[in-house]
A and B are shown apart, each in its own frame.
Chain A
Amino acid sequence: MMRISRRTFALGIIGTCCLSFTPTIAIAQADREREERWQQLVSYLFDDREVVPTETLIKIEAPARAQDAALVPITLTMPEKDKIKSVYLVIDDNPVPLAAHVTFGPAADAGSLQMRVRIDTYTNVHAVAETKEGRLFSAVAFVKASGGCSAPSGPSDLEAMKGMGEMRLRLSEPSQKGKSTAATLMIRHPNFTGMQMNQLTRLYTPPRYIEKMTVTYGDQTVLDVAGDISLSTNPAIGFNFVSDGRQSMKVVASDNKGGRWESAFDVSANN
């Protein structure tokens, strides 16, 4: 795991471009194209609000080269967590760049978030933090991956859909009252991207993905997650919540085809 700076990325390009380009031109061009792409996305996703690069408000960790393009683990950290209202994960060159928008509720500890995503090609991945004041700050990592969005969800569509909606919640350690506890929420769902072709029928499996997940703790919201096709099959999200000793954490998930699932988990401190 490493954070890729723009400079490291540029060095990578020197290594990979054919020799008819001089390295400097290649760097400049690739850099400029990626920056142009990002500016397009900013205007499309954030309605031309200013997005300011930050070294402090949000950090993104991603593998420099994806081992499995259909399941790339991403970690976001927000050191000044009390300032953060929500985060966006944007995979610039994916067909649907916005992978997820996660809004933190009062029961959340917004210090970190883990997600697993599909990455289709060599691309910048941007993490954007929205502060409670409504300002946007970004961090970026460059990831080399290939074919993540067309990689199938399972041996067959039917197989991939087995157990759809089943959920698990795993705590990294027993929760303690008043303390932040790390949790991973897993849900079985194929998250079909719409780019997965069945060779026999020559048809693409229609996109079917988790569109919304709401995690509540007692009567308070922990997270609201808006997802899309870039979340990996069987989406999993790692987050933190502050335990107050109450019993139950509830999750409601729904997909774009009208599927809706609910689960409740006992996360009490003495469990």
Chain B
Amino acid sequence: MLLSPMSGNEVRATGHVRQSGNGMCFTRREAMALGFCLCCLPDRGQAARPSGIKDVGNGIFIREAPHEEATRRNRGGIANIGFIIGRDGVLVTDPGGSLADGRWLRSEIKIRTTKRVRYVVMSHVHPDHCLGAAAFGDEVPVFLGHHRLKNALHARGDFYRERLAEVLERDDVGEIIYPNQEVEHAAEVDLGDRIIRMMAHGRAHTDCDLTMLDVTTGTLFPSDLLFVDRVPSLDGSLLGWLAEVERLRQIRPARAVPGHGPAIVAFEPAMAKQVEYLTALADQTRQAIARGLTLNDALPAVTAGKGGGWALYEAYHERNVIQAYKELEWE
């Protein structure tokens, strides 16, 4: 772990949480275009009107995002982002989907507290979660991320920015901010009256997922390791994701702030529904491969989650099958 002497903020690396113990190693990480579909045309509608912040109690504030693609109207604000106010400062739980989205979040923080933003957590590489980081640069916070986040941003950052610039004004997109403290396995942040525990995961939703637990309230911040209502999108490893879910379950959190969905949910029922989809996706894709179906023929044959009421199912499911197929065909 790197410590930034400039920040005056302290992040402790902790050794007691083992790194991904799923014993699997997927050497093949392929081109993933995007966490969201940018083929869609920009919405040239009215000015931005982001959803409001929800006070979910105990100093935790979450913007419950709509289940949409990034558009000019939502300014890329399509992921649940928010902040935790502690005695000694504020921790941002994902800075947002664009510079504009991050600036908006920062203004919402300033309405509620005069405390400094000390930590900005970037839960993974996807643009809807981390492109807002640049909005917080002049507060000189610690930017926290998974130890593989920097590499992922190197590989994809420009690509994401270019695609988002097709939708938003270029000035609203946001520069790529790299984490200045990386979490190898686990780490803790002390906000004075509360400890936030970080966990770096093995390949799951992406290859750089970082989750957090607000220890005092038992609130888990799984980010995109948990999708609620919106169909999960796979950009890492399907089998890895299922394995990392088991690690989260061992924490037995009472409630969770999913990366997409309601601002706060009861953890286990929400996770169970997601696991049902991911497991069916794995089972059906394996069956399709075993039956000798080509990728083309597997697409209509794998119907996991169909009719399950998932938002954006049509936009993402087939893509998930492609990801699952190219992972599982090498089993």
CB interface residues, B 1-49, toward A, < 8 Å: 27-34, 38-39, 41
Contact, CB under 8 Å: A170 / B326 = no
Contact, CB under 8 Å: A73 / B159 = no
Question: A163 at the A/B interface (Cβ < 8 Å)?
Answer: yes
Contact, CB under 8 Å: A118 / B31 = yes
Contact, CB under 8 Å: A146 / B38 = yes
CB interface residues, A 11-36, toward B, < 8 Å: 16
Contact, CB under 8 Å: B295 / A114 = yes
Query: Which of A86-94, A101-109, A192-200, A254-262 participates in binding chain B?
Result: A192-200
Known: A114-B296, A171-B292, A199-B154. A151 touches B33 (CB 8 A): yes
- State how many angstroms separate the Cβ of B264 from the closest Cβ of chain A: 31
Contact, CB under 8 Å: B330 / A155 = no
Contact, CB under 8 Å: B296 / A73 = yes
Instruction: Return the CB mask of B284-301 against A: 1 if under 8 Å, else 0.
Output: 000001011111100110
Interface residues on B, range: 35 or more
Contact, CB under 8 Å: B294 / A238 = yes
B34 (CB) vs chain A CBs: closest residue: A147
Interface residues on A, range: 35 or more
Question: A244 at the A/B interface (Cβ < 8 Å)?
Answer: no
Query: Which of A46-54, A64-72, A211-219 participates in binding chain B?
Result: A64-72
CB interface residues, A 53-87, toward B, < 8 Å: 61, 65-71, 73, 75
CB interface residues, A 104-158, toward B, < 8 Å: 114, 116, 118, 144-148, 150-156
Using Cβ atoms and an 8 Å threshold, which residues of chain A touch B274?
A: none
Known: A16-B41, A199-B154. A152 touches B296 (CB 8 A): no
Q: DSSP majority for the A interface?
A: loop
CB interface residues, B 245-266, toward A, < 8 Å: none
Question: B148 at the A/B interface (Cβ < 8 Å)?
Answer: yes
Known: A146-B38, A188-B28. A156 touches B151 (CB 8 A): yes
- State how many angstroms separate the Cβ of B322 from the closest Cβ of chain A: 5
Question: A162 at the A/B interface (Cβ < 8 Å)?
Answer: yes
A71 (CB) vs chain B CBs: closest residue: B322
Contact, CB under 8 Å: A147 / B154 = no
Contact, CB under 8 Å: B293 / A172 = yes
Known: A16-B41, A70-B31, A199-B176. A114 touches B156 (CB 8 A): no
Q: Which of A71, A75, A145 has its CB near the most chain B CB atoms (within 10 A)?
A: A71
Contact, CB under 8 Å: A186 / B30 = no
- State how many angstroms separate the Cβ of B102 from the closest Cβ of chain A: 19
- State how many angstroms separate the Cβ of A56 from the closest Cβ of chain B: 21
Q: Once the chains are docked, how many angstroms separate the CA of A83 from the CA of B27?
A: 41
CB interface residues, B 286-331, toward A, < 8 Å: 289, 291-296, 299-300, 318-319, 322-323, 326, 329-330
Using Cβ atoms and an 8 Å threshold, which residues of chain A touch B39?
A: 65-66, 69, 144-146
Q: Once the chains are docked, how many angstroms separate the CA of A154 from the CA of B203?
A: 12
30 contacts between A and B (CB under 8 A): A16-B41, A61-B296, A65-B39, A67-B319, A68-B32, A68-B319, A70-B30, A70-B32, A70-B33, A73-B322, A75-B294, A118-B31, A145-B39, A146-B38, A146-B166, A147-B38, A147-B159, A152-B32, A160-B29, A162-B27, A163-B27, A168-B329, A170-B329, A171-B292, A188-B330, A196-B155, A197-B159, A199-B158, A199-B176, A238-B294
Give 10 new A-B contacts, CB below 8 A, not counting A67-B318, A159-B27: A73-B294, A73-B296, A146-B33, A146-B163, A147-B34, A148-B33, A153-B31, A171-B292, A172-B294, A199-B157
Q: Top 10 A-B pairs ranked by shortest CB distance?
A: A172-B292, A70-B31, A67-B319, A154-B29, A162-B27, A151-B31, A152-B155, A199-B154, A155-B29, A200-B154
Interface of A toward B, CB cutoff 8 Å = 1, 16, 61, 65-71, 73, 75, 114, 116, 118, 144-148, 150-156, 159-160, 162-163, 168, 170-173, 182, 184, 186, 188, 196-200, 232-234, 236, 238
